[in-house]
Copies of this chain bind each other. A is one copy, B any other.
Amino acid sequence: MTKPTRTDVSELGEFGLIDRIQSMVSSRYRSTIHGIGDDCAVLDNGEDYTLLSVDTMVEGLHFDLMYCPLQHVGYKAIVSSISDIYAMNGKPSHVIVSLSLSSKYSVEAVEELYKGMERAASFYNIDIVGGDTTSSLSGATLSVTAYGRVKKDQLVLRSGAKTGDALFVTGNLGGAYMGLQILNREKQIFLQNPDMQPELEGHDYVVGRQLKPEARYDVVEALAKASIVPTAMIDISDGLSSECLHLAKSSKVGVEVHEQFVPIQQETYDLSLELNIDPITSAMNGGEDYELLFTVDPSLADRVREEVPDCIEIGIIHKEEKGSFLTSRTNQHYPLTAQGWKAF
């Protein structure tokens, strides 16, 4: 008798696992435009495309109630889910929520979660239209499914980047990761000495990035107003490096990122140095910023700079053979690696 094979998910990695799952499911509908492997599933509903996406947050892994108020957990769950719809250049309109909660969660706790979710729903003009609440043996799991639509000629997949395209990123990177470091540091101090007050002063920006991230609906709106359709787009939930690799793999291209242009906010930068982390590492591998990474035809790059607020050109798309790499200020090349993935 042979022992059954056991492969750790970590051994296979995110990309390997997605490939494995993709190979196991078949498509039966012509209306299935895009299944597993992008930010959203894309379904042809006749008039336009329906977008569907699910995002899950697990207590102890994606949030820690020691420093994350339940309202923020709810808010973030909605934001991270609808961010996937924006990443397809679409407009989210509805979400449904699945909560699994251990008995430590009271009715009041459920209300706090929903208060945060409803706040996000109000801000992003979304309807929370359903849900399922079950118990769990330990902690909380929030799964939010986002539903949205996009005009057929405005759909943007991960797979459309072409050699020569300009690579843009919105906002700035690494902040949410630095926020997490600060919150973890203060948690450790508190655990050792519960009388100490947490020292979050001077770290408002990065803590805010971690606890209350926002999705870049404004960028999607600006692109539409300027009639610019990116060739590829993805949201940055797992770190710039990892998302560049997703884009490269789906588009069968290489991605070059110029270190000097990667946007890092001052507080993020200073704090990285204070914590002995190279700021570029925070920006490349820190996740949860929910910024958008997109590519456009080089002829449109100037118009993006002029008409889309808060974004910067950070690199260029190459042929696949060149691979994906970071070019340092001293012009050295460092291959991109998917360190950002926190899921396993």
Contacts and interface: CB of A to CB of B under 8 A. Distances in A.
B141 A62 contact: no
A344 B38 CA distance: 35
A121 interface: yes
Contacts of A138: 137-138
Interface stretch (A95-103, A194-202, A221-229): A95-103
A309 interface: no
Contact of A96 (B5, B53, B136): B53
Grouping DSSP codes into helix (H, G, I), strand (E, B) and loop, the A interface class, with mixed when no group exceeds half, is mixed
A25 to B, nearest CB: 4
Contact of A121 (B10, B25, B61, B126): B25
Interface in A96-141: 96-98, 100-101, 103, 105-108, 110-111, 114-115, 117-118, 121-122, 125-139, 141
A59 to B, nearest CB: 8
Contacts of A160: none
A60 interface: yes
Given A27-B127, A133-B17, A41 B344 contact: no
Contacts of A130: 35-36, 38, 40-41, 52-54
Interface string A129-155: 111111111110101010100000000
Contacts of A59: 137
A148 to B, nearest CB: 11
Contacts of A129: 27, 32, 34-36, 41, 43, 52
A47 interface: yes
Interface string A41-58: 101011100101111101
Contact of A9 (B34, B97, B110): B110
A10 B102 CA distance: 11
A11 B107 contact: yes
A21 interface: yes
Contacts of A46: 47
A6 interface: yes
A332 to B, nearest CB: 34
A134 B61 contact: yes
Chain multiplicity (copies): 2
A271 B205 CA distance: 63
Interface residues of A, number: 82
A128 B20 CA distance: 14
Contacts of A93: 29, 31, 43
A26 interface: yes
Nearest to A39: B130
A108 B56 contact: no
A60 B137 contact: yes
A8 interface: yes
A134 B54 contact: no
Nearest to A97: B54
A329 interface: no
B9 A54 contact: no
B107 A143 contact: no
A60 B100 CA distance: 13
A6 to B, nearest CB: 5
When A and B form their complex, which 5 residue pairs have the shortest distance between CB atoms, in order from nearest? A41-B129, A41-B130, A143-B143, A7-B107, A35-B129
